[in-house]
Amino acid sequence: MSAQPQEYKFSDIIADPRIRERWEKVRRYFFLRESTYDMSNRCNIRCEGCYYFTGEKQFAPENTDENAWRQLLQSEKERGITFAVLAGAEPSLVPNLCAICYQVIPLGAIATNGLKAIPREIDYRIHISAWGNDQTSQAIRRAPNMLARQMVNYKDDPRAVFVYTFTPGNIDEAREVTKLLADNGQHITFNMFSAPVGYQGYLRHTPETLGKTRETMDELLTEYPQTVLFSTYNIVAHTDKLGLHDLFSCSYPRMNPSTDIGLGRSFRQYRTDLQWDRDAACCVPDTDCTDCRHYAAGSAVVTARMYRHATDPVTFSAWLDYVDTYLAVWVRGYDKGLNLCNTFISPPPTN
């Protein structure tokens, strides 16, 4: 005879002082409402598997009118957007437009390849993409000495966090890159290569590479807890054989028809012509949704599923770790706490 699993009240779960403290810490940021903006249709490098140069958005004309950008961000603020994510193709090529975004919406993040420093007065979180060691970057991104140049550009810069994208070919190199960044006082978080629509190239993960990535992430999180902004539950969510949509039901408009509440209501993804299309709107458009394990997607999709994680103290702690990580990676000035749950748990089932 098997024992019935204990049913917890939410008040019982948060009665634990460590859980309550973390819950009170993260819930102060529930006001964040994001939208994303492609800043330029140009990039100074061209990477294998780049999401930006897939699909229609790459052909949108570039609007460089500062007044148009200011008006757009102002209208975004008025409809409740509190967090701006500046992405494709390469925002550092238009620092004047990034500055306008920061002036109007003071919380945000910029995804950059890090080869051109973004002026310090733009006080957003800066996500610097890393795809392996310099040899691999040369092969995949066709740019020499990437890490060395990125580290010089963002040395002692509290805005910076390196985002290491695991592909089947660079799993072992993560050790070398993480050590290098740790030795230089930088922070790193992890991303998973998620295939663009139609992509059948060698960067697409397999069950074997997902498993190997999981082991490597766990090893690095244990060895470099001050450098790696991640949690055990992040590892679970991003290396499962199922993608984020199948695990958690993606809440971005592209996969969520509801316009009543949450991301389905507020999120927009603007192209460089300042237009947006609900059918394409998600954090990384033109990703194959069945293969999506993007760190950006998880930050919203896993976070939104609080209710289903509030089943017991361990599961809720894992969710809190995930949200604490997401906030530390995305929000300037937010300090990550120690992870509460260091065991691998299964994501809870849907309703």
Partner 1 sequence: MSYDINQTITRISEIIINELKLEDVTPQTFNPDLDLIDEVGVDSMDLATVALVLRDEYGIRIDEDDYPKLTSVRIIAQYIINKLTEKE
Binding site for partner 1 (CB under 8 A): 9-11, 27, 30, 33, 251, 258, 260-263, 265-266, 303-308, 310, 350-351
Q: How far is the CB of 265 from partner 1 (least distance, A)?
A: 8
| Number of C-beta neighbours around residue 110 at 10 A | 25
Spatial contact of 146 and 115, defined as CB atoms under 8 Å apart: yes
Minimum distance from residue 205 beta carbon to partner 1 (Å) = 28
Looking at the Cβ atoms of 131 and 252, the one nearer to partner 1 is 252
The nearest distance, CB 16 to partner 1, in angstroms, is 15
Select 149 or 305, whichever has its Cβ closest to partner 1. Answer: 305
> 4 is written with which tokens?
């019935």
Cβ distance to partner 1 smaller for residue 98 or 237? 237
Q: How far is the CB of 9 from partner 1 (least distance, A)?
A: 4
* CB closer to partner 1 out of 36 and 303: 303
Q: Which residues contact 142 (CB under 8 A, 6 or more apart)?
A: 45, 46, 47
Beta strands in the chain (DSSP E): 34-38, 83-87, 108-112, 125-130, 160-166, 188-192, 269-270
Residue closer to partner 1 by CB (options 156, 260) is 260
Q: What does residue 270 show for φ and ψ, rounded to 5 degrees?
A: -90, 140
**Which of 243, 282, 246, 245 is CA-nearest to residue 264?**
282
Amino acid at 225: P
143 close to 45: Cβ distance less than 8 angstroms: yes
For residue 267, the minimal CB distance to partner 1 (Å) is 11
